[in-house]
Amino acid sequence: MRSMLLVLLLACSLPVFADEARPLADDPVIEQRMVDLASDLRCLVCQNESLAGSHAELAEDLRREIRSLMKQGKSDKEVISYLTTRYGDFVLYRPPFKPVTYLLWLGPLIFLGIGLGVWYATLKKRRAMPDQTVDGTQIAAAAKLLDENL
Amino acid sequence: MKRWLPLILFTLLSAVLYVGLHLNPREVPSPFIGKPAPAFTLPTVEHPDKTFSPAQMQGKVWLLNVWAPWCVACRQEHESLLQIAQMGLVPLVGLNWKDKGREATALLAQSGDPYLACAEDLSGMVGIDYGVTGTPETYVIDKRGLVRMKHIGPIDAEAWENKFMPLIKELNR
């Protein structure tokens, strides 16, 4: 009897949860698109969180706005330009490739180039060094040192 | 030279990190600088039957101050705003952002109203159109309706003297 009651109670509580989740599950396709897009966008309030994962009020407003833009049939590109005209490229976790960001995008390649250059120069210098000749007395001295340590 | 290279590199790195320490990540550059201030028409807090829209300020240099009654930093700023209003150098327009409790009317009546008009942005959509990330934020808008500066955080004496005053004087010339 008791377990029956529990099941009945649980059954009653189900619709409550379903009701709360409805706005999210309204249109699963748009929801998925919104989440995919918003994961690559920065929340302006908690700057290390994505717009998809943030609980900040502004993030909620912006997610709602993205949803409604998508429902109006706007493409991902149009949604992103809606956000960048208001908040600038700062909202993008993947900054666009343009003159201001050349150093950002090409910096790692430049550093790799410098590293390769240093590596090449070192190898070249090493190769240019004459082979050292070792005579018998030096080998004997080395062997003696090794023996002592053992 | 070779011996000094590590020291030189270390000094350079330290300098970069030191400068980085003093950068404020909240100071997000606004994409609106030099662009027209977004248009809107909203009822005002003072007279809910009247509306405010930026077009009414055409030909004037003015400040748009985004604030909210729930914002603690805005209360700190309130005193400076009253002083600025008293100076009469520049008209101050408020944007009451996402005031769900509708507290602005009472608050302004109680602690003084520095605004020529304070627009009521309940949904927060106008704030989003201006790229507001948090309150308080203040925009300087010129005679042609272009945004010339965005100040993030409360206006203190230093910001007023060094950032606002010179710009407002220049724009009014």
Highest mean pLDDT (candidates A3-12, A91-100, A123-132, B153-162): B153-162
Count CA within 13 A, CB hemisphere, residue B166: 6
pLDDT bin (cut points 50, 70, 90) of residue B28 is: confident
Q: What is the pLDDT of residue B23?
A: 86
Q: Where are the domains of chain B?
A: 28-172
Kindly give, in sequence order, each residue whose CB lies less than 8 Å from that of residue A116, ignoring residues fewer than 6 positions away.
Answer: none
Residue A142, pLDDT > 50, answer yes
**Mean pLDDT within A111-130:** 93
DSSP B38-50: PP--EEBSS-TTS
Neighbours of B155 (CB within 10 A): 20
Residues in chain B within 8 Å Cβ distance of A84:
31
Mean pLDDT of chain A: 83
Query: How far apart are alpha carbons A126 and A122 in whole angstroms?
Result: 6
Residue A13, pLDDT > 60, answer no
Instruction: Name the residue facing B31 among A47, A62, A85 (closest C-beta).
Output: A85
Residue A49, pLDDT > 70, answer yes
CB B62 within 8 A of CB B90: yes
State the CATH architecture for A1-96.
Orthogonal Bundle (1.10)
Q: What is the pLDDT of residue A6?
A: 58
How many Å from the N-terminal Cα to the C-terminal Cα in chain B?
A: 55
Residues in chain A within 8 Å Cβ distance of B28:
44, 87-88, 90
Q: What is the pLDDT of residue A25?
A: 53
Least confident of A11-25, A71-85, A90-104, B15-29: A11-25
A57-68 confidence digits (pLDDT tens)? 889 999 999 999
Higher-pLDDT residue of A19 and A56 is A56
B44-72 confidence digits (pLDDT tens)? 999 999 999 999 999 999 999 999 999 99
Query: How far apart are alpha carbons A143 and B168 in whole angstroms?
Result: 84
Query: How far apart are alpha carbons B130 and A87 in whole angstroms?
Result: 8
Query: How far apart are alpha carbons B87 and B165 in whole angstroms?
Result: 11
Its ipTM equals: 0.80
Q: Which of B24, B97, B128 to mutate to test the interface with A (most CBs of A within 10 A)?
A: B128
CB B95 within 8 A of CB B33: no
B138-173 confidence digits (pLDDT tens)? 999 999 999 999 999 999 999 999 999 999 999 998
Query: How far apart are alpha carbons B79 and A117 in whole angstroms?
Result: 60
Smallest CA–CA distance, residue B130 to chain A, in Å, is 6
Kindly give, in sequence order, each residue whose CB lies less than 8 Å from that of residue A76, ignoring residues fewer than 6 positions away.
Answer: A33, A37
Note whether A45 contacts B133, CB cutoff 8 Å.
yes
Phi-psi region of B34 (alpha: psi -120 to 50; beta: other; left: phi over 0): left
Is domain B28-172 given the CATH code 3.40.630.30 in the classification?
Answer: no
Give yes or no for B98 touching A (CB within 8 A): yes
Note whether B28 contacts A45, CB cutoff 8 Å.
no
Residues in chain A within 8 Å Cβ distance of B31:
84-88
